[in-house]
């Protein structure tokens, strides 16, 4: 393996926004690729009470659901998502901050959307919510294409009654399925790409990783196209299979930003971030303050796009 580095700020910001609200450590999220805003656009809906109005917009490109929330009112000055720093620089959860979200597809009904995660969207009164769909079965995922409404209940710190949004919902664009490449393996792991789906604003890649589960859970992935452009990570989920036939296999669902129109192939570069001690705690930094990554060269995966 050879060593490279990544900016500490990316890891710290994700940990603060997600960890402060008790979200799973194995899941990361960020805003969607900027080009998605022009591609996915549905009307807003709102709910008002307790001197505050919450507005929302739902977007779906076939790979994931994104909600844009905005808060209007003069009662709250803290961040709508994540932590707020007090006058002494100490973090706390301010009143008016999102503490819980329940989402369900209501037209047609019956699909509850689990594991929402949210982060501030550049403004203290704006938040982006990511709703992954990788855990849904094939029938449920297929039914999302015909969905027309999503109901979202948002609970804010210090406000007893939740805000209820009924958002118009429609899939924009077509998801293109790409032929997965052959599995890659080294002395520790085998990584099989089981699905690649390219939407208008994202690419979703499903991996099955065989090896020591505790180590496999800690594998991260950088994805580049053949032009050297790094894809922005939107979310990543990691779960262990329970079926006897695939014990010891970790399922990882990667969601990254849109592929550029001129890209001919992608390169997935698996890595382990280096910790100061053991397999958890503080990351080990280089002289420039960057977190050190150990890349698995033999496990690199090339995905032809054309």
Q: Is the dihedral of CA 272, 276, 280, 281 positive or negative?
A: negative
Which pLDDT score, from 0 to 100, does residue 241 have?
A: 56
pLDDT band of 290, cuts 50, 70, 90: confident
75-102: average pLDDT = 92
Q: How far apart are CA 143 and CA 133, in angstroms?
A: 12
81-99: average pLDDT = 93
Q: Does the pLDDT at position 165 exceed 50?
A: yes
Residue that has been written with the tokens 């294409």 in this structure: 145
211-221: average pLDDT = 87
Which pLDDT score, from 0 to 100, does residue 194 have?
A: 95
Which pLDDT score, from 0 to 100, does residue 246 have?
A: 62
pTM: 0.78
* % residues pLDDT > 70 (the chain): 83
22-45: average pLDDT = 44
CB 18 within 8 A of CB 116: no
Same fold, 2-11+175-304 and 41-168: yes
CB 255 within 8 A of CB 63: yes
Torsion angles phi and psi, residue 13, rounded to 5:
-65, -40
Q: How far apart are CA 31 and CA 179, in angstroms?
A: 27
Q: How far apart are CA 30 and CA 64, in angstroms?
A: 13
Q: How far apart are CA 234 and CA 95, in angstroms?
A: 27
Q: Which fold has domain 41-168?
A: Immunoglobulin-like (2.60.40)
Which pLDDT score, from 0 to 100, does residue 110 have?
A: 76
Q: How far apart are CA 253 and CA 235, in angstroms?
A: 8
Question: Which tokens belong to 223?
Answer: 């994805």
Poorest-confidence range of 89-98, 181-190, 244-253? 244-253
pLDDT band of 279, cuts 50, 70, 90: confident
Q: Across all residues in the chain, what is the average pLDDT? A: 83
Instruction: Count the neighbouring beta carbons within 10 Å of the beta carbon of residue 25.
Output: 12
Domain 2-11+175-304 has CATH 2.60.40: yes
Question: Which tokens belong to 55?
Answer: 């507005």
CB 230 within 8 A of CB 277: no
Helix (H) or strand (E) holding 154, with range, is strand 149-156
Q: Where are the domains of the chain?
A: 2-11+175-304, 41-168
Higher local confidence (pLDDT), 13 or 228? 228
Q: How far apart are CA 242 and CA 21, in angstroms?
A: 28
Per-residue pLDDT of 115-160, as tens digits, reads 899 999 989 999 999 998 888 888 888 888 888 899 999 999 999 9
Higher local confidence (pLDDT), 251 or 31? 251
């Amino acid at each position: 393996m050879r060593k490279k580095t990544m900016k500490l700020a990316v890891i710290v910001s994700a940990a603060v926004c997600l960890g402060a609200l008790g979200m799973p450590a194995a899941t990361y999220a960020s805003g969607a690729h900027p080009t998605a805003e022009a591609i996915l656009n549905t009307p807003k809906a709102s709910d008002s009470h307790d001197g505050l109005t919450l507005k929302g917009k739902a977007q779906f490109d076939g790979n994931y659901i994104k909600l844009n929330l905005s808060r209007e009112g003069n009662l709250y000055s803290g961040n709508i998502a994540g932590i707020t720093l007090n006058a002494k620089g100490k973090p706390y959860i301010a009143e008016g901050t999102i503490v819980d979200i329940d989402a369900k597809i209501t037209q047609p009904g019956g699909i509850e959307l689990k594991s929402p995660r949210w982060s501030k969207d550049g403004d203290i009164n704006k938040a982006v919510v990511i709703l992954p769909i990788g855990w849904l079965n094939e029938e449920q995922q297929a039914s999302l294409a015909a969905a027309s409404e999503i109901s979202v209940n948002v609970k804010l710190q210090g406000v007893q009654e939740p805000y209820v949004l009924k958002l118009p919902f429609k899939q924009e664009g077509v998801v293109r399925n790409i032929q997965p490449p052959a599995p890659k393996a080294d002395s520790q792991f085998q990584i099989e790409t089981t699905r690649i789906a390219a939407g208008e604003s994202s690419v979703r890649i499903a991996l099955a990783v065989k090896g020591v589960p505790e180590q496999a859970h800690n594998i991260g992935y950088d994805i580049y196209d053949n032009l050297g452009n790094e894809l922005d990570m939107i979310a990543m989920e990691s779960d262990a299979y329970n079926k006897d036939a695939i014990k010891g296999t970790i399922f990882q669902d990667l969601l990254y930003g849109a592929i550029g129109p001129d890209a001919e192939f992608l390169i997935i570069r698996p890595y382990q971030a280096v910790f100061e001690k053991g397999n958890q705690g503080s990351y080990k930094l280089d002289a420039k303050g960057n977190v050190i990554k150990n890349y698995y060269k033999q496990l690199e995966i090339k995905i032809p796009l054309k």
